[in-house]
Structure 1
Amino acid sequence: MTIKSIQTLFSEAMQEIKTINADEALKMVEENNCNLIDIREGNELESTGKVENSVHIPRGKLEIYLDPNSALFQQGVLDQNKEMVLFCAGGVRSALAVKALKNMGYEKISHIEGGFGSISQSKFKIV
């Protein structure tokens, strides 16, 4: 059995998932067409700031919180009818996370190319 490298996993995920840029994501947020989900760890948000209008769900808890019966859906924090747009610091974790959520059955799902790095260079507001 061959164990795949992170580069291989990332490369395979990129062939299967939808990738958008920060400007496309911002337009979706402004038009209220998506759930913007930050999957970075809490200490990353503390050191770099939070993206306005994003929901923080650490990568390790993503599948739990995106279960259709989770409190985030029940309380209206997330809207299952809108596209889930994920981002991490640089785009690797979010690409792998999108692939995992596709395996859960999500279809309207994408990630932001370049992650927080590209978001912070765009017109998104960091709070």
Structure 2
Amino acid sequence: MKTVEQLVAEARTKIEEWDVARLRATPEAVIVDIRDVRERAKGYIPGSVHAPRGMLEFWWDPTSPYHREVFAGPGPFVLHCAMGWRSALAAATLTDMGFEVAHLDGGMEAWVEAEAPVEIPAPKTDAPQG
């Protein structure tokens, strides 16, 4: 049996890791937020593309009926999650599939800690307008 920590450590040996400074210095990078919608609703990196972890491989694969064109374009692509564990695993999977991706070491926590900009979505309301 392998632990999650072991899986993440193995993934990190075969992927490229970016820090916040490098990501901020690379405006052409496509930042891919793989967190779930509840996490993203609390704040996200401005300009990031949302691709929930459960759909990532399907959206990335050009042969999949679920493919999203944003993932066919030029990168670099940098995945992130909350702490960098899920994004490390996801980057390793996409790398195994033959795609060039990196991940943000430390994830959203590192981004916030570096006092980088965060966008907070407007709260949704079910109340009638008028």
TM-score, length-scaled by structure 2? 0.82
Q: How does 1:31-70 map to 2 (within 5 A)?
A: 32=28, 34-46=29-41, 48-68=42-62, 70=66
CA distance in 2, matches of 1:95, 1:13: 6
Q: Which secondary structure state, in structure 2, belongs to the residue aligned with residue 86 of structure 1?
A: strand
Q: Are the equivalent residues in 1 in contact too, given 2:31–2:48 (CA < 8 A)? A: yes
Give a deviation string over 1:104-125, Cα, whole Å, max 9, x none.
1112x11011100011123532
Q: Which secondary structure state, in structure 2, belongs to the residue aligned with residue 49 of structure 1?
A: coil
1:82 pairs with 2:75: yes
* Structure richer in helix, relative to its length: 1
Task: Give runs of ≥4 in structure 1 deviating > 3 Å.
Answer: none
Q: Are the equivalent residues in 1 in contact too, given 2:17–2:103 (CA < 8 A)? A: yes
Instruction: State which of 93, 109, 116 in structure 2 corresponds to 1:117.
Output: 109
Q: Which secondary structure state, in structure 2, belongs to the residue aligned with residue 52 of structure 1?
A: coil
Q: Are the equivalent residues in 2 in contact too, given 1:35–1:82 (CA < 8 A)? A: yes
Percent identity, aligned pairs only?
32
Q: Return the offset for 1:79.
A: 4.9
TM-score, length-scaled by structure 1? 0.84
What 5-or-longer segments of structure 2 have no aligned partner? 120-130
Give a deviation string over 1:18-48, Cα, whole Å, max 9, x none.
11101101111x2x1x2110000100111x2
Q: Which of the two has higher C-alpha Rg?
A: 2
The equivalent residue for 1:15 is 13
What 5-or-longer segments of structure 1 have no aligned partner? none
Aligned residue pairs total 117
- Tell me how large the CA RMSD over aligned residues is: 1.6
